[in-house]
Amino acid sequence: MIKLLVFDVDGTLSDGKVYYTQSGEEIKSFDIRDGLAISVWNRYLARPSAIITGRDSQIVRKRAAEVGIEHIFMGVENKAEVLRNLLAQLNLADSEVACIGDDLNDLGMFRICKKAYMPSNGAKALKKYAYKILKSRGGDGAVREMIEDVLKLNGDKKLEKYFL
């Protein structure tokens, strides 16, 4: 059973593009459907999730708070080390975590996660390490698709039942 979800940000939770305003502020877009699925995981199921990303962003902190992600690691160079420490802290096995990433800096997480997901537009070199290549693109429903698959693997067939 999957008990922890781990998300990269750029290229998975967002479309991987970074926009800057005239004043130099960074802008990212996040998919609302992804956010709803993350909220169900965190709030309805009371399961933990984490962000492990190489960039540091106040926008990501805000989004994490909105959807209930409690473990946030930014500016990370070695994602595998951070994930190993988090698994130890939460007393979870490798088989109890699913992750999503889109590029080579996520390879360390993919080697740990038995269920490593990748958006359809992820780096070609990462594809051979993915458990599943999703139909959706990063920032456009890939995280939602991942969570729906994890719920199915866990024996929970429909996301919709949390809203009826």
**Has residue 157 got a pLDDT over 90?**
no
Average of per-residue pLDDT values in the chain: 94
Q: What is the pLDDT of residue 163?
A: 63
Annotation-wise, does 149 bind a ligand?
no
Is 102 a known ligand-binding residue?
yes
Q: Is there a domain that residue 50 lies in?
A: yes
162 within domain boundaries? no
106 annotated to a ligand binding site: no
38 lies in some domain: yes
> Between β-strands 19-20 and 26-27, what pairing exists: parallel, antiparallel or unpaired?
antiparallel
Report yes or no on 17 lying in a domain.
yes
3-state secondary structure the chain: CCCEEEECCCCCCCCCCCEECCCCCEECCCCHHHHHHHHHHHHHCCCCEEEECCCCCHHHHHHHHHHCCCEEECCCCCHHHHHHHHHHHHCCCHHHEEEECCCHHHHHHHHHCCEEEECCCCCHHHHHHCCEECCCCCCCCHHHHHHHHHHHHCCCCCHHHHHC
The predicted-structure confidence for 129-151, as pLDDT tens digits, reads as follows 999 999 999 999 999 999 999 99
pLDDT band at 106 (very low <50, low <70, confident <90, very high): very high
Residue 122 lies in a domain: yes
pLDDT digits (tens, 9 = 90+) for 43-69: 999 999 999 999 999 999 999 999 999
Domain CATH for 109:
3.40.50.1000
Tell whether 82 is covered by a domain. yes
pLDDT digits (tens, 9 = 90+) for 19-33: 999 999 889 999 999
Q: What is the pTM of this model?
A: 0.94
User: What band does 159 get if pLDDT is binned at 50, 70 and 90?
Assistant: confident
Asked whether residue 163 is assigned to any structural domain, the reply reads: no
Overall number of domains in the chain: 1
Quick one: angle between helices 58-67 and 32-39, nearest 10?
Answer: 50
The token duo for 122 is 């992820």
What pLDDT does residue 50 have?
Answer: 98
- Integer CA distances (angstroms), 37 to 49, 51, 114, 130, 150, in order: 12, 15, 21, 21, 11
Range of 29's domain? 4-155
- The reply to whether 76 falls in a domain is yes
pLDDT at 79: 98
